[in-house]
Amino acid sequence: MTARHHRLFGLDLLRAIAILAVIVCHYTAAFAGSWGLEPPPRWIMVAGFYGVVLFFALSGYLIGNILFDIQESGTTMRKIRTFLVRRWMRTLPAYWIVVAASCVVAELYNYRSYDLLRFLTLTQNLVTPFPGGFFGASWSLTVEEWFYVLFPITLFCASLWLPRRGIVLTLSTFLVAPALARYGVWRWLDVDWSYGLRQVAILQLDAIAYGVLAAYLTRGRIIDSRRRLWLGVAGSASVLISWYFHASLSLADSPLWMSNGVFLTSASGSALVVVACVNLNGIGKLTDAAVTCLSNYAYALYLVHCLAWDIAALTLQGRMDLAPPVTLILALSLAALVRRLVETPFMRARPPQFGNHPTTNRQLLSLGELRLPGSQSTKY
């Protein structure tokens, strides 16, 4: 009997919200300049920060469930290797295609101040500030890809040492170490908050770990709708409080807030919102279809949306008033090409994680079909 594969509308909705937050943040400032308008207010300008944090929480929650399933089945290096191959085939081919396209556009701009090897190996901001000026959206991919490597290997080693406490030790390490490091960097080093703190990969690993923590604490538990509602309220309140103080700069003089407060409130709140939305039902056929479509194309849109603006600005010199609509058309077109010609073929070619028994929860997870008690499933 073959399991039917459905999607989790709630997680699709959050993914759609996340990509919209990033695009609104980046495009409103650029479009306002094209039309000679005043820059958007700061609360809009920081929306992209919260969109990326929501992406991190979603990744942690979904990846965490897969890793826990691997652990329960008996962790081996072969399974970890398969896990990494599946993740890399999901993300790296599309990323490298956009890096190549960005190189072409940079050459047309006569811009060569970037280290291509570091971008190809996703080390451009691993331990150093993000260089900026080239493929700006790539900083968060470095965080994700290195988390995919470091967390499973750490979990595997910790579980060998402490079989019953390996996950607690691993989560504690990934939650505490980045927070302490951020405080030290911000307190004693002269760094730019965005490039030198927010966009340094090893300092942001806890943003994804909060999603894993949410998966760990809720795994195997059926959470009723009332509790999910309260989790959603608490998570949303945490994110909104973070958003307010971030946008208002009212705590900008506090080293503790700037190094950790804004990150912890947004990451933990986003993780709670993810848990609250897992079993969220659809709204209507048209709305659900639009949300699912945007969710499907979210990764490709994230990769190409800045590139689309660069191409539009390059080709419309002297007519920048036309750049906004052209940018939107280009972004959607490029995302469709990347999704159809790169993402989808490589996802279909990925090796299975747990053999060939698709009716089991473990196989659904390995296929990217997360199934939770009383829920549908979602592609990952």
95 and 141 in contact (C-beta within 8 Å)?
Answer: yes
Contact criterion met (CB below 8 Å) for 371 and 365:
yes
Strand partners, 371: 377
SS3 333: helix
Residue 345, SS3 per DSSP: helix
Q: 356 falls in which pLDDT band (50, 70, 90)?
A: low
In a domain, 175, yes or no: yes
Q: Where are the alpha helices (DSSP H) in the chain?
A: 9-34, 42-45, 47-74, 77-108, 116-120, 138-161, 166-188, 193, 205-218, 225-248, 255-256, 262-277, 285-296, 298-315, 323-338, 344-348, 361-366
Q: Which of 91-95, 147-151, 354-358 has the lowest mean pLDDT?
A: 354-358
> Interior CA angle at 365 toward 81 and 121, to 5°?
40
> Is residue 340 in some structural domain?
yes
CB 201 within 8 A of CB 126: yes
Evaluate whether residue 294 is within a structural domain: yes
Q: List residues bridging with 220 in a β-sheet.
A: none
Q: Name the residue with tokens 């939770």.
A: 372
Amino acid at 121: T
**Residue 280 within a domain:** yes
Average pLDDT over residues 334-361: 83
Is residue 4 assigned to a domain? no
263: burial class by Cβ within 10 Å (0-12, 13-18, 19+)?
A: buried
Is residue 132 one of the residues assigned to a domain?
yes
Name the residue type at position 86.
R
Of 230, 217, 225, the residue nearest 273 (C-alpha) = 230
The domain of 35 spans 9-378
Alpha-carbon span 89 to 86, nearest angstrom: 5
Whole-angstrom Cα distance, residue 51 to residue 57?
A: 10
Per-residue confidence band for 359, with pLDDT thresholds at 50, 70 and 90: very low
Statement: residue 329 has pLDDT above 70: yes
**CA 113 from centre of chain:** 27
User: Each residue of 204-218: pLDDT tens digit?
Assistant: 999 999 999 999 999
- Answer whether residue 362 shows pLDDT above 50: no
User: For residues 75 and 198, which has the higher predicted lDDT (pLDDT)?
Assistant: 198
In a domain, 2, yes or no: no
What average pLDDT does this structure show over 167-180? 97
For the packed helices 225-248 and 47-74, what is the interaxial angle rounded to 10 degrees? Answer: 140
Q: pLDDT tens digits for 242-278?
A: 999 999 999 999 999 999 999 999 999 999 999 999 9
CA distance 346 to 340: 10
Please state, in angstroms and rounded to a whole number, the distance separating the CA atoms of residues 31 and 46.
16
Number of domains in the chain: 1
What percentage of the chain has pLDDT greater than the value 90?
79
CA distance 151 to 3: 30
Which pLDDT tens digit goes with each residue over 270-303?
Answer: 999 999 999 898 888 899 999 999 999 999 999 9
Amino acid identity of 365? L
- Contact by Cβ (8 Å): 337, 303: no
Q: How many CB atoms lie within 10 A of CB 306?
A: 24
What is the C-alpha separation between 189 and 37, in angstroms, rounded?
Answer: 37
Does 1 fall in a domain?
no
282 exposure class (CB count in 10 Å sphere: 0-12, 13-18, 19+): middle
The lowest-confidence range among 13-22, 71-80, 169-178, 305-314 is 71-80
Confidence (pLDDT) at 158: 92
